[in-house]
Chain A
Amino acid sequence: MASRLLKLTRLSGLTKRSTCTDQFRLNEYSTKYLGNREVTFTETLSFEDSHHSKAIPIYRVTKSDGQFLNPKDDPHFDKEQAMKMYKSMTLLSNMDKVLYDSQRQGRISFYMTNSGEEGCHVGSAAALNPSDLVYAQYRETGVLMYRGFPLSSMMNQCYGNEKDLGKGKHMPVHFGTKDYHFVTISSPLTTQLPQAVGSAYAFKRDGSKKVVIVYFGDGAASEGDAHAAFNFAATLRAPVIFFCRNNGYAISTPTSEQYAGDGIAGRGAGYGIHTIRVDGNDLFAVYNATKAAREVAVNENRPVLIEAMTYRVGHHSTSDDSTAYRTAEEVEEWKSKDSPIERFSKYIIGKGYWSEDEDKAWTAQARREVLKAFNAAEQIKKLPPSEVFNDVYDSLPRHLQRQAGELKEHLKEYGQHYPLENFNKH
């Protein structure tokens, strides 16, 4: 602190009409109000005009053709690692196609694809430890894919059958698994952000050296919970990585109607958070940034904000037709000009890890595996109706025991009016 004080004294010595009072106040404001940031008085009336300042640059490692801009940024994935990444992304996109179509056929009730954002998921997941806790929004299935969560478990969740870890309570794509350290997704946007901070704080105390990563979209960042989380993480020094997928849209709302500042990254400094903006379609940039962020989080117990710039290629969900608010040409342009999967495939082919023939065979195999898991999940019955009452509390309170009894009695007499054939008996 002594050196800081000296510095400030020197600094205020430069101010024209500096006085003892000025020094005292500048020192107070700096040390107590502004986190030891140096501050001076100014006699010039001038607003900070964010519209004329430059945006935070977008960190990238490769060009759209997959070539490294600076060879030192190549993380040098070995074949196994690189192929795991590639297969995670492509398996995900094959699963997206099958499940999207199956929803159109009415076989599952709802689905949300991940097209265009696979690089964000896999690049970040690969930079974490497998036991680092993940809080997701809902468009981060690639993280689970990378961690090895089985296709069958994903299908079981979408069908809500008796093998679904969530026991059929939640809508499709609301995945969650303790074994893979992926907290069950919930629909209310952004609620997971302050929760991620709380978990990170607990990890900081328990000495496990785990970090938490929390994903969210550019729209979710407008919720009050985002503000809460950024501020809590910084003041309470939580080892958490905030990973924002800025894909240009929140359902139909373009980012121009979502915020007027320098994106989401532009907010980081205001909270005192280390911040970086990355090219979300460049898996290497996402990987490098997340890896560095993890170091900051775990070694300094400080949060990091990563804003990954990307584009939502698919519709928002199966309940949305995005051509109602954007042109098909816009989508096509993104698809053809900058696909994270294609960018990465150039890398693996260039390295000699992969060939076009292998790719064809793999695509066919991936599709087969997805369909196999899908068809198997469809055949599995759902838990019995009494499951309605389980897991509300750790055990059944008296009123729920009574209500479970009422449902049982009701089904005895009126069971023929319900689809009991799809559910187990006990």
Chain B
Amino acid sequence: MTILTRLANNGVQGAMKPFVASRHASHFNFIPSVADPSLGETTKMNLFTAINSAMDITLDKDKTALIFGEDVGFGGVFRCTNELRNKYGSDRVFNTPLCEQGIAGFGIGAAVAGATVIAEIQFGDYIFPAFDQITNEAAKYRYRSGSEFECGKLTIRTTWGCVGHGGLYHSQSPEAYFSHTPGLKVVIPRGPIQAKGLLRACIEDPNPCVFFEPKILYRSAVEEVPVGDYLLPLEKAEIIKEGKDITLVGWGTQVHVIREAAEMAEKELGISCEVIDLQSILPWDLESVANSVSKTGRLIVSHEAPITSGFGAEIASSIQKECFLNLEAPIERVCGYDTPFPHVFETFYIPSKWRVFDAIKKTINF
């Protein structure tokens, strides 16, 4: 894991950027969001500094709060925990042995005993050893005990999504596995403002949360982020662009891909697209998506994860039921193929803006 970690990290940090850029251009353009002015003073942050800010605020406000995982002590392989150990002490920000099931189990136990827990799994790809602890234990703690015990103060952060050259085990999007687990909340932000507000919301939420951070955005996504504390609502989608002909739903980095495809479709085909960032995978905001599709009559869901049993299937099926009389074309899913995530073929694997664009065209012409 270590060598691969370093490789992926260096890539994100930019040490290998010229080489990466020469292979293929980035598959999306990050367009900064504008924070609600009521949230106060802002400063430029990228995604990792926004995450760091959310954790800094938590440690400052909540003396029980702990942050731990592999290599978080020196600042983390993606710099998300930078300086936190110096500021809050090594009993609150500390390295664990290299063992994901241990990290999750330890986190659950600390939360059971009343601590606020932010546990890090270094890559979403390595969350599977902790799958039993997360799905059989964390998710079911409250239910099985009749609320005698719960681990609602647990938040598990992990990286997520493709990064250009991550191959099989530094690219995965495992959200659908967790979406099938009642008791969990699963959240994915699209940029720094959302990352900070949604992570703070996950930490404060009285239920165990899995928070996926699109690692390709750690450095590349920069915008004006409120410096103070704020929470963005969980279980709520955000319409980031209004439209009337077709609804596009995505989350994480893919929101930027579908927005670009939407702009291409407007410019080249005159199609008005409504773009929705789902943000919360579980529980998800069926109402917002259904309202949009009732208006537009068409839906495309797009995610990086493989198509079969991906979360797009849940959305398509639910919307088909809710909006049967409004639908004017089959719901389309533009997703990763049903293969492991490949290294040199990444550009052909991911649901690119061209594939989304093509799906928009075909759905409109149906």
* Residues of chain B whose beta carbon lies under 8 Å from any beta carbon of chain A: 64, 66, 91-92, 94, 96-97, 99, 101-102, 104-115, 117, 129, 132-133, 136-137, 140-150, 152, 182-183, 185, 206-207, 235, 283, 286-287
Least CB distance, B247 to chain A, in whole angstroms: 19
Q: Are B102 and A178 in contact (CB under 8 A)?
A: no
Q: Are B99 and A202 in contact (CB under 8 A)?
A: no
Within A176-213, which residues are at the interface with B (CB < 8 Å)? Answer: 176-178, 183-184, 186, 188, 191, 193-203, 205-206, 212
B105: which of A200, A229, A235, A399 is its contact (CB, 8 Å)?
A: A229
A225 at the interface (CB under 8 A from B): yes
A236: which of B96, B115, B133, B286 is its contact (CB, 8 Å)?
A: B96
7 contacts between A and B (CB under 8 A): A165-B148, A191-B132, A195-B105, A198-B106, A202-B114, A203-B113, A229-B105
A133 at the interface (CB under 8 A from B): yes
Once bound together, how far apart are the Cα atoms of A391 and B141, in whole Å? 9
A174 at the interface (CB under 8 A from B): yes
Further 18 A-B residue pairs, CB within 8 A, beyond A196-B109, A225-B102, A394-B150: A166-B144, A169-B143, A184-B141, A184-B145, A186-B140, A195-B109, A197-B105, A201-B106, A202-B109, A202-B115, A205-B64, A206-B114, A212-B109, A224-B101, A392-B183, A393-B185, A394-B152, A398-B235
Given contacts A194-B101, A202-B110, A398-B287, contact A169 B133 (CB under 8 A): no
- A-B pairs, top 7 by smallest CB distance, nearest first, are A198-B109, A194-B105, A228-B102, A195-B109, A184-B145, A167-B146, A202-B113
Least CB distance, A403 to chain B, in whole angstroms: 10
Once bound together, how far apart are the Cα atoms of A97 and B131, in whole Å? 38
A178: which of B66, B96, B149 is its contact (CB, 8 Å)?
A: B149
Among residues of B, the one whose C-beta sits closest to the C-beta of A164 is: B146
Contacts of B146 in A (CB 8 A): 164-167, 169, 176, 391
Once bound together, how far apart are the Cα atoms of A176 and B108, in whole Å? 16
Contacts of B99 in A (CB 8 A): 227-228, 231-232
Once bound together, how far apart are the Cα atoms of A174 and B140, in whole Å? 13
B108: which of A195, A236, A391 is its contact (CB, 8 Å)?
A: A195
Least CB distance, A215 to chain B, in whole angstroms: 14
Contacts of B113 in A (CB 8 A): 133, 198-200, 202-203, 206
Among residues of B, the one whose C-beta sits closest to the C-beta of A224 is: B101
Q: Are B112 and A199 in contact (CB under 8 A)?
A: yes
A397 at the interface (CB under 8 A from B): yes
Once bound together, how far apart are the Cα atoms of A177 and B145, in whole Å? 8
Q: Are A399 and B136 in contact (CB under 8 A)?
A: no
Once bound together, how far apart are the Cα atoms of A212 and B105, in whole Å? 15
Given contacts A166-B145, A398-B283, A399-B286, contact A392 B182 (CB under 8 A): yes
Among residues of B, the one whose C-beta sits closest to the C-beta of A203 is: B113
* Residues of chain A whose beta carbon lies under 8 Å from any beta carbon of chain B: 133, 135, 164-167, 169-170, 174, 176-178, 183-184, 186, 188, 191, 193-203, 205-206, 212, 224-225, 227-229, 231-232, 235-236, 391-394, 397-400
Q: Are B106 and A194 in contact (CB under 8 A)?
A: yes
A198: which of B105, B129, B140 is its contact (CB, 8 Å)?
A: B105
Least CB distance, A12 to chain B, in whole angstroms: 30
Contacts of A224 in B (CB 8 A): 101, 129
Q: Are A194 and B133 in contact (CB under 8 A)?
A: yes
Q: Are B144 and A174 in contact (CB under 8 A)?
A: yes
Q: Are B64 and A202 in contact (CB under 8 A)?
A: yes
Contacts of B207 in A (CB 8 A): 393-394
Contacts of A174 in B (CB 8 A): 144
Q: Are A235 and B97 in contact (CB under 8 A)?
A: yes
Q: Are B286 and A188 in contact (CB under 8 A)?
A: no
Contacts of A133 in B (CB 8 A): 113
Q: Are A232 and B102 in contact (CB under 8 A)?
A: yes
Query: Taking each of B102, B150, B152, which has the highest tally of chain A beta carbons within 10 Å of its own beta carbon?
Result: B102
Least CB distance, B98 to chain A, in whole angstroms: 9
Contacts of A170 in B (CB 8 A): 144-145
Contacts of A199 in B (CB 8 A): 109-110, 112-113
Contacts of B117 in A (CB 8 A): 198
Once bound together, how far apart are the Cα atoms of A400 and B66, in whole Å? 31
Q: Are A198 and B144 in contact (CB under 8 A)?
A: no
Q: Are B143 and A392 in contact (CB under 8 A)?
A: yes
Q: Are A176 and B235 in contact (CB under 8 A)?
A: no
Q: Are A393 and B149 in contact (CB under 8 A)?
A: no
B137: which of A188, A201, A400 is its contact (CB, 8 Å)?
A: A188
Contacts of B283 in A (CB 8 A): 393, 397-400
Given contacts A193-B105, A398-B286, contact A198 B110 (CB under 8 A): yes
Contacts of A236 in B (CB 8 A): 94, 96, 106
Once bound together, how far apart are the Cα atoms of A197 and B143, in whole Å? 22
Contacts of B145 in A (CB 8 A): 165-166, 170, 176, 183-184, 391
Given contacts A236-B94, A392-B142, A398-B286, contact A229 B102 (CB under 8 A): yes
B97: which of A196, A203, A231, A400 is its contact (CB, 8 Å)?
A: A231
Q: Are A191 and B110 in contact (CB under 8 A)?
A: no
Once bound together, how far apart are the Cα atoms of A319 and B175, in whole Å? 37
A176: which of B96, B149, B152, B185 is its contact (CB, 8 Å)?
A: B149
Contacts of B64 in A (CB 8 A): 202, 205-206
Given contacts A184-B149, A229-B102, contact A191 B142 (CB under 8 A): no
Among residues of A, the one whose C-beta sits closest to the C-beta of B143 is: A391
Q: Are A191 and B102 in contact (CB under 8 A)?
A: no
Query: Taking each of A195, A200, A235, which has the highest tally of chain B beta carbons within 10 Å of its own beta carbon?
Result: A195
Given contacts A206-B64, A232-B96, contact A225 B143 (CB under 8 A): no
Q: Are A178 and B148 in contact (CB under 8 A)?
A: yes
Q: Are B97 and A169 in contact (CB under 8 A)?
A: no
Contacts of B110 in A (CB 8 A): 198-199, 201-202
Once bound together, how far apart are the Cα atoms of A199 and B154, in whole Å? 12
Least CB distance, B309 to chain A, in whole angstroms: 18
Q: Are B109 and A228 in contact (CB under 8 A)?
A: no
Contacts of A191 in B (CB 8 A): 105, 132-133, 136-137
Contacts of A394 in B (CB 8 A): 142, 150, 152, 206-207
Query: Taking each of B113, B132, B147, which has the highest tally of chain A beta carbons within 10 Å of its own beta carbon?
Result: B113
Q: Are B235 and A397 in contact (CB under 8 A)?
A: yes
Contacts of B235 in A (CB 8 A): 397-398
Query: Taking each of A170, A202, A232, which has the highest tally of chain B beta carbons within 10 Å of its own beta carbon?
Result: A202
Contacts of A195 in B (CB 8 A): 105-106, 108-109, 112, 137
Contacts of A228 in B (CB 8 A): 97, 99, 101-102, 105-106
Once bound together, how far apart are the Cα atoms of A202 and B68, in whole Å? 13
Contacts of B107 in A (CB 8 A): 198
Once bound together, how far apart are the Cα atoms of A255 and B270, in whole Å? 72
